[in-house]
Amino acid sequence: MTIPHSVRIAGLVLVTTAFYGYVGQLVPQREVQPPTETVLRADMTTADMVKVGGELMVGKGLCMTCHTIGKSGALRFPDLEGVATRASTRIPGMSEIEYFAKSLYAPDSFIVAGFNPGMPVINKPPIGLTDQEILCVIAFLQTLGGTPTVTLQTSHAYYTPPGGAPAAPGGAPTNATPTNTTPAQAPVTR
């Protein structure tokens, strides 16, 4: 008995589709949702900023897509464990806040030996973190080997908060508090 050519092709298509459907189900699936809206209150403490910064790094900032914390071996980008200690000593005369700010706003400025450039500028699309969100990320990064000191009023070379004083010469950040805002009534949103 001879099976018609069109039936054999249809059978091959069905078997191939079923095989790839089965293999596709073996691959772990991860549902990707759009980033959640981040609302930053003007009266956030540094501890609040650290929490938000960690959430931003995993979510909207997409940092953990390439970076790791506490891993070794073949890595896509540098591991962030102890990054605050390294940031405060890597460039003589530059504070860790200025180092982090430059690393985030102009990531090709500092390329770690053994790694290629490739980190996107995070205050522009597709990531598009706001200046306040970047301050929260810096606060989180300071916890990785140091003590967070950033507030929403911290200035650096790339950002001066409304009513705040610009960063001091030599890279020292300022924590000037504006005198014309009331924290409870001035939420900062993206």
Question: Is pLDDT above 90 for 184?
Answer: no
Can you list the domains of the chain with their CATH numbers? 39-189 (1.10.760.10)
CB 125 within 8 A of CB 133: no
Average pLDDT, stretch 122-137? Answer: 93
* Per-residue pLDDT, 102: 96
Residue 176 has what pLDDT?
A: 40
Cβ contact 35:130 at 8 Å: no
d(C-alpha 122, C-alpha 135), whole Å = 12
Asked whether the predicted pLDDT for residue 182 surpasses 80, the reply is: no
pLDDT of residue 164: 74
Residues 129 and 148: their CA atoms lie apart, in Å, by 20
pLDDT at 188 over 60: no
pLDDT for residue 186? 39
As a whole number, mean pLDDT of residues 39-45 equals 90
pTM assigned to the model: 0.71
Average pLDDT over the chain, rounded to an integer: 85
The backbone torsions φ and ψ at residue 155, rounded to the nearest 5 degrees and listed phi first, read -100, 150
Residue 185: pLDDT above 60? no
Residue 81 buriedness (CB in 10 A; 0-12 / 13-18 / 19+): middle
Question: What pLDDT, in 10s, does the model give residues 139-180?
Answer: 999 999 999 999 999 999 999 988 777 776 555 544 443 333
Which of 117-121, 135-139, 176-180 is least confident? 176-180
CA distance 118 to 114: 13
Phi, psi for 21 (deg, rounded to 5): -65, -40
Q: Which residues pair with 174 in a beta bridge?
A: 155
Calculate mean pLDDT across residues 14-21: 95
What is the pLDDT confidence band of residue 32, given thresholds at 50, 70 and 90? low
